[in-house]
Amino acid sequence: MPVSVVVGGQFGSEGKGKVAHFLAKERHARFAVRVGGTNSGHTVIDQSGSAVIFRHLPTACLLPQVVSVIPPGNYLYVPTFLGEIQRIGSEPQRIAVDPYAWIIQEVDVQAELKSGLQSAIGSTATGTGAALVRRIQRCVSDSFAKDIPALRPYLRDTTELLVHALRDQQRVVLEGTQGFGLSLLHSRLHPYCTSRDTTAAAFVSEAGLSPLDVDEVVLVIRTFPIRVAGASGPLPSEIDWATLTSESGYLDQLVEYTSVTNRVRRVARFDAEIVRRAIAHNRPTCIALNHLDYIDALCANELRLTQKALDFVGTIELSLLGFGPASLTWRDIKSQKISNDRR
């Protein structure tokens, strides 16, 4: 069945939003599903060349043919969600919110702010984890999307919607959030993890789909993994942004900020072990490697693989390569290397 699942292979911020948007466009997807909560932001470059961050809507919402789906396994903070809809000017028929998506309430946000999780593990304290706890405790007071009047224009049974789409062989792109290394169930760095499982299988379950619906799993990784600022947990071979800038050949200072809390991210050298485990748990059909321009700035400037970047890729076989914030292309690594060797 035609479902593509996008999953992060490190600690988040691998560029899943860019990859999901690309896949939806390349595969002529009719539906894009976003799971997770408001504690993660996905960035995509719009038609004007500006970076846009979405914390609830899938990045493919910018494509005119795509219907954005918020399934029952989602955790919605209503002000943020409605603000995103207003920003893109989307009409109600292009947004589908399951009546049983769970609502993040102000009490959840306040609970996390008071919990000490921000300083203890680098939590974003946006209420997703606390909302999940209320759901587990079977709290039922106005907690579903169906209970929020402002969401009524968007309410639809998303499982039924997607089942009919798949029967018609319409492509669905499922945009997972965060990264495998943050999984509540599979991270080996507990308690430095998020409040949910972050594997492809978990995303499929949250979307209300069957594993048999999936024909593509894209694992997204980056050349230099990051973690959020603060006491967010171990990060093997951690370096600073000045070192990365110098080694990459960029003239301007490289630095990244978290998309939710706007704090400077921690950064480290590539760690093969976390990627090996992500591959074992997610069994991807292909891998997308982003931030090759951090290996060699010429990749971004010339939109091509340089020998320095090829040396880094080495024996890894990849299907998608990212050369910069807006650039993504299908590549045959071996053919590219042969072509470069002949020059």
* 204 within some domain: yes
* 335 within some domain: no
Residues ≥6 apart with Cβ < 8 Å to 241 = 253, 254, 255, 256, 264, 267
* pTM exceeds 0.85: yes
The total of structural domains in the chain comes to 1
What's the mean per-residue pLDDT of the chain? 89
Q: How far apart are CA 296 and CA 250, in angstroms?
A: 8
Residues ≥6 apart with Cβ < 8 Å to 99 = 144, 145, 146, 155, 157
pLDDT of residue 328: 63
Using alpha carbons, select from 238, 235, 224, 199 the residue that is nearest to residue 290: 224
pLDDT of residue 320: 57
* 40 within some domain: yes
* 298 within some domain: no
State which H helix or E strand residue 289 sits in: strand 286-290
Q: How far apart are CA 98 and CA 70, in angstroms?
A: 6
* 329 within some domain: no
Q: Which two tokens stand for residue 50?
A: 């500006």
Q: pLDDT tens digits, residue range 204-220?
A: 999 999 999 999 999 99
- The parent domain of residue 9 ranges over 3-290
* 54 within some domain: yes
Residues ≥6 apart with Cβ < 8 Å to 90 = 61, 68
pLDDT of residue 303: 86
CATH of the domain at 40: 3.40.440.10
* 315 within some domain: no
pLDDT mean values, one per 10 residues, the chain (343 residues): 94 94 95 92 87 94 96 95 94 96 93 79 81 89 92 97 96 96 94 94 96 96 92 93 96 90 92 92 93 94 90 69 63 42 34
